[in-house]
Amino acid sequence: MYGRGILKGLGVTIKHFIDTYIDDLRYGLNKYSKFEDNFTQRQSHEARGAFTIQYPDEKMAMPERFRFTPFLVVNDDDHPDAPGQDWCTSCGICAKVCPPQCIWIVRGQDPVTKRPIPEPEAFYIDIDICMNCGFCAEFCPFDAIKMDHDYEMASYDRTTTHIHDKNRLQKPFTYWRSIAPQITVEEAEARGGWEHVDVIKAKEKAAKEAAKKAAAAEPAKPATADVIPTGEQAAQGESLKTDTVDSAANVAALNRAEASTPDTPASDPDAEKAARLAKREAALARKHAKKEGGES
Ligand code: SF4
Ligand code: SF4
């Protein structure tokens, strides 16, 4: 009211004006030097006043989610297992979702079997057509294509420099980590590690198989070694083992009673089944023998 808002705004402007000179004094002659720390500080929340960026000697630090053209992530050169290996599996999803259709992929082939392999033989992006939407990076299931911060691509020759081939597109994982430290951490958490998702899955599978093998190698315990048969079961088993076995019902009961005895390891179902069948055969043979003896 009565121009107080205007005065307040002017006060902010004057404060910025004065702060600019205070900042000049703070940095002295180094204000426009190329010291990166100095420059980064001036772009942070600690910066005071207004300043001019002396491009191209100085460049704005890009925010982490800034996106320009895409690049392909590959393993670092000092990777212990697969240096320089593509993260791209040439699944083709990025090429499908790209709105202006500026991605072209040739899938790799096994030289012997001629079957497709999960890596691109060729990968091209026409960066003059790319509209920097970032869909390719959003949809890639392998975190293999990312949006770069490099925006200085002007040139007079479109055909050789603006169609990026696989060599031009490939950048090591540490580069991606350096321009997007927070995003890479989030992605690694989602994948379950810093490696390519396929490597993480293979490691998990190998660990499971090793655990299975270790469990199988442990000495097997008898199925019912700790189970003490009830008096009724024991009596039933004993009575059925005598020569009074003379009916199919009793044979079945014998099988049931004998199956509960601790002479077959629980960890081998095939051996258990074979033992049961052998006992059944023996019981039937005894029954037939008794029958024949009675008839004669
Ligand atoms: S960059 Fe990603 S989405 Fe595109 S082909 Fe490679 S793995 Fe598939
Ligand atoms: S950023 Fe968008 S336009 Fe550019 S290649 Fe990726 S999907 Fe296509």
What b/e readout covers 174-195, taking b as 16+ CB neighbours within 10 angstroms? ebbbebbeeebeebeeebeeeb
Distance 88 CA to ligand 1 centre (A): 5
Task: Give, for ligand 2, the residue of 68, 98, 124 to mutate: max count of ligand atoms closer than 8 Å to Cβ.
Answer: 98
Nearest ligand 1 atom to alpha carbon 139: 3
Please tell me which residue, 38 or 133, carries the higher pLDDT value: 133
Q: What is the pLDDT of residue 238?
A: 47
If pLDDT is split at 50, 70 and 90, which confidence band does 109 have? very high
Q: What is the pTM of this model?
A: 0.64
Q: What is the pLDDT of residue 8?
A: 93
Mean pLDDT score, 68-91: 95
Distance 145 CA to ligand 2 centre (A): 10
Q: Which of 171, 181, 176 has the alpha carbon at shortest distance from 72?
A: 171
If pLDDT is split at 50, 70 and 90, which confidence band does 48 have? confident
Ramachandran bin of 114, using left for φ above 0, alpha for ψ from -120 to 50, beta for the remaining angles: left
Distance 112 CA to ligand 1 centre (A): 24
Lowest-confidence segment of 36-45, 123-132, 153-162, 225-234 by average pLDDT: 225-234
Residue 227 DSSP code: P
Ligand 1 pocket: which residues have CB below 6 Å?
88-94, 105, 140, 142, 144-145
Q: Which structure tokens are listed for 259?
A: 């199956």
Q: What is the pLDDT of residue 38?
A: 65
Please name each of the domains of the chain with its CATH number. 1-60 (no CATH), 70-205 (3.30.70.3270), 231-295 (no CATH)
Torsion of CA 190, 195, 199, 204, to 10 degrees: -60
Mean pLDDT score, 251-280: 59
Encode pLDDT of 147-187 as tens digits.
999 999 888 887 778 999 999 999 999 999 999 999 999 99
Q: Which ligand is nearest to the CA of 148?
A: 2
Q: What is the mean pLDDT of the chain?
A: 81
Encode pLDDT of 230-239 as tens digits.
555 544 544 4
Q: Which ligand is nearest to the CA of 126?
A: 2
Residues 6+ apart with CB under 8 A from 200: 191, 192, 193
Q: Which of 50, 43, 53 has the alpha carbon at shortest distance from 17?
A: 50
Phi/psi of residue 12, nearest 5 degrees: -65, -40
Residue 222 DSSP code: B
> Measuring from atom 7 of ligand 1, which residue has the nearest CA?
88
Encode pLDDT of 7-23 as tens digits.
999 999 999 889 888 87
